[in-house]
Structure 1
Amino acid sequence: MKFGSVEDPTAVDFTLPPTHPDTLTLLDKHKKKKRDLEVYVGCAKWNKQDLKGFYPRGTKDELVYYATQFNSIELNGTFYNSPDKAQVETWKGKTPADFKFFPKVPQSISHYGRLLNVDEKMTAFCDAIALFEEKLGVSFLQLHDNFKPKDFDRLATFIKKFAKLTPLAVEVRNEEWFADESVRQKLWTLLESQEAANVLVDTAGRRDMLHMRLTTPTAFIRYVGANHPTDKKRLDDWVTRIQEWYDAGLQSLYFFVHQNVELESPLLSAYFIEQLNKALGLDVRGPSEKLF
């Protein structure tokens, strides 16, 4: 994933910002005395060419093998081609009972349609991914870099319609969403009212997207490594932060690893799972063999 990449990662301060105060307030509201943390960790795709070296020689079906190694996938493929019902049922049938898909809203809706006059496409997408049934995680909407706060009402209308059909997470990218406090608060109030998760993006060149403001008791995190030795230290810091959020009331964690060169994504995902399991006493499923 090239978004937010930089030429020299050593020049970036990767320190995680403090947790937003409203995040702690929200988590405290949802805190339960006895609870298990729901955790799904994976990569963005299962394509063999991108994840070169991950698949054993002779692997015939990449999704089948991938799903034995991780418990989820950030389904980026649906961004480029909205799946039909038969495709969804095929994917579902190739994965074990504990596996979940997190499909991305098609670009025909988010980028080309820019959320206007897309009801028919939105309904077709939601009807298709509904067939994942118990294997459907959260669908996420990623807006174009040039989709700005001036179109807030358009975004609000879409979210209110979509959130009634299927669970949703939202990622805004344009800098104007983060530059003004009133704009930020308006967006976060909308997401919280619709129970839509506010996506956090940890990428080298866009530290403003680490707003640390959760709008549901779910943390949906898209982590972009830099193919650099700093990547593991950054993941260690996330383990510490997740521990803090869990103690505060976090109920679910969806954590998806990207890389500028994707072949290292399974390695970092496996490393994160191992460290998270150790720190929180969890048993999140990861690769059967050590990859790192």
Structure 2
Amino acid sequence: MKFGKVPNPEQIDFTLPKNHPNTEVVLQPYMNDEKPSIYVGCAKWNRQDLKGFYPRGTKDELKYYASQFNAIELNATFYRMFPAEQFEKWRDKTPEGFKFFPKITQEISHWKRLQATEAIADLYIYNAMHLKEKLGTIFLQMHSNFSPKDFDRVANFAEYWPKEVPLTMEFRHTDWFNDEKVSNELYHLLEENNIANTLVDTAGRRDIMHMRMTNNEAFIRYVGANHESDYSRLDDWVERLEQWISFGLKNIHFFIHQNLEVESPLLAAYFIKKLNQRLGSNLTIPKTTTTPPKPQTLF
């Protein structure tokens, strides 16, 4: 994932923004003693990208991946439409409790740019629903040049999308966030349609790093920079998620990318271990062939 890649990550201020004032307002109605649902995964299971992750002799990459993680951010569905039968095969290869979080096809987001997409959206949803209980939140990622001038398209798409199918939307044009009137209209639209507002943490695009949730789902796409700071950044996320849970957050979906995906399982193992220690969760810690470096501190 090259999005937000920078040549000198040590020069970036990775401090997470303060909570949006509406964070507690959105989450407070869900506050109870129920434990949060936590899913953590990588973006793909391809052996070529995740070199060193699979034991020698592994024949079925997805089956092994699903024995180590409880989720996958399914980016393959962005590049082409898969038939219902393929979703069924993926479902059958994975254990109980595993979930797929598929990305909406680029035909909808990048080619048609949300215009006249009802038929293709219906087909995509029909196929993806064959994952049955293993279907997590579907996510829509718009092109970086898709701006608020086409807000009506977003509204039409959000209102058409079936409410029983969880959806999150990601916007990359900076005007969605630096114009308060636009951002408030967007947040209201997402809240009204129970659509999650994707949070993206990547080095070169701090301008779109926001902390505004629109329902009880923190859908986070984290992009490491293949730098030692990747680990301390994850520490900050553990602390923030713990705070949000205290506010009432019940659904955490956290997906780890890297500019060079080879280290993604290492980051994920580090992150999951920290979550288990801090939140009392019991997620499987993926087996990795090397040990992640300890973050540097001042002490």
Partner of 1:11: 11
CA contact (8 A) 2:42 2:255 kept: yes
How far apart, in 2, do the equivalents of 1:270 and 1:179 lie?
35
TM-score, normalised via structure 1 length? 0.98
User: Following TM superposition, where does structure 1 have runs of at least 4 consecutive aligned residues deviating by more than 3 angstroms?
Assistant: 288-291
Partner of 1:20: 20
Partner of 2:104: 105
Q: CA deviation at 1:73?
A: 0.2
What pairs up with 1:135-150 in 2 under 5 angstroms? Answer: 135-150=134-149
CA contact (8 A) 2:53 2:288 kept: no
How far apart, in 2, do the equivalents of 1:209 and 1:31 lie?
28
Give secondary structure in 1 for the equivalent of 2:22.
Answer: helix
Identity %: 54
Question: Amino acid of the residue matched to residue 119 of structure 2?
Answer: E
Partner of 1:2: 2
How far apart, in 2, do the equivalents of 1:291 and 1:88 lie?
32
CA contact (8 A) 1:163 1:196 kept: no
CA deviation string 1:6-37 (max 9, x = no partner): 110011000011010101111112212x1011
How far apart, in 1, do the equivalents of 2:44 and 2:160 lie?
28
Give secondary structure in 2 for the equivalent of 1:21.
Answer: coil
How far apart, in 1, do the equivalents of 2:106 and 2:164 lie?
18
How far apart, in 2, do the equivalents of 1:165 and 1:98 lie?
19
* Unaligned ranges ≥5, structure 1: none
How far apart, in 2, do the equivalents of 1:52 and 1:291 lie?
12
How far apart, in 2, do the equivalents of 1:67 and 1:258 lie?
17
Q: CA deviation at 1:163?
A: 3.8
CA deviation string 1:29-75 (max 9, x = no partner): 2212x101100000000011010111111111110000000000000
Partner of 1:49: 48
Question: Amino acid of the residue matched to residue 7 of structure 2?
Answer: E
Partner of 1:38: 37
CA contact (8 A) 1:202 1:222 kept: yes
How far apart, in 2, do the equivalents of 1:260 and 1:49 lie?
14
1:135/1:31 Cα in 2 relative to 1: closer, same or farther (>3 Å)? same
Give secondary structure in 1 for the equivalent of 2:160.
Answer: helix
Q: CA deviation at 1:165?
A: 5.5
Q: CA deviation at 1:290?
A: 7.1
CA deviation string 1:226-258 (max 9, x = no partner): 000000000000000000000110011000000
Question: Amino acid of the residue matched to residue 279 of structure 1?
Answer: R
CA deviation string 1:175-207 (max 9, x = no partner): 111111011100000001100000000000111
How far apart, in 2, do the equivalents of 1:15 and 1:290 lie?
30
Question: Amino acid of the residue matched to residue 184 of structure 2?
Answer: Q
Question: Amino acid of the residue matched to residue 188 of structure 2?
Answer: T
Question: Amino acid of the residue matched to residue 194 of structure 1?
Answer: N
Aligned-pair Cα RMSD in Å = 1.1
What pairs up with 1:183-194 in 2 under 5 angstroms? Answer: 183-194=182-193
* Unaligned ranges ≥5, structure 2: 292-299
TM-score, normalised via structure 2 length? 0.95
Question: Across the two proteins, how many residue pairs are aligned to each other?
Answer: 291
Matched, 1:131 2:104: no
How far apart, in 1, do the equivalents of 2:197 and 2:250 lie?
15
Q: CA deviation at 1:161?
A: 1.1
Partner of 1:74: 73
Partner of 1:208: 207
How far apart, in 2, do the equivalents of 1:208 and 1:285 lie?
34
Matched, 1:227 2:232: no
CA deviation string 1:203-223 (max 9, x = no partner): 001112221000011100000
Partner of 1:258: 257
How far apart, in 1, do the equivalents of 2:290 and 2:167 lie?
32
Matched, 1:181 2:177: no
How far apart, in 2, do the equivalents of 1:208 and 1:113 lie?
26
Structure 1 residues 161-170 or 147-156, which shifts more?
161-170
Question: Amino acid of the residue matched to residue 119 of structure 1?
Answer: E
Question: Amino acid of the residue matched to residue 126 of structure 1?
Answer: I
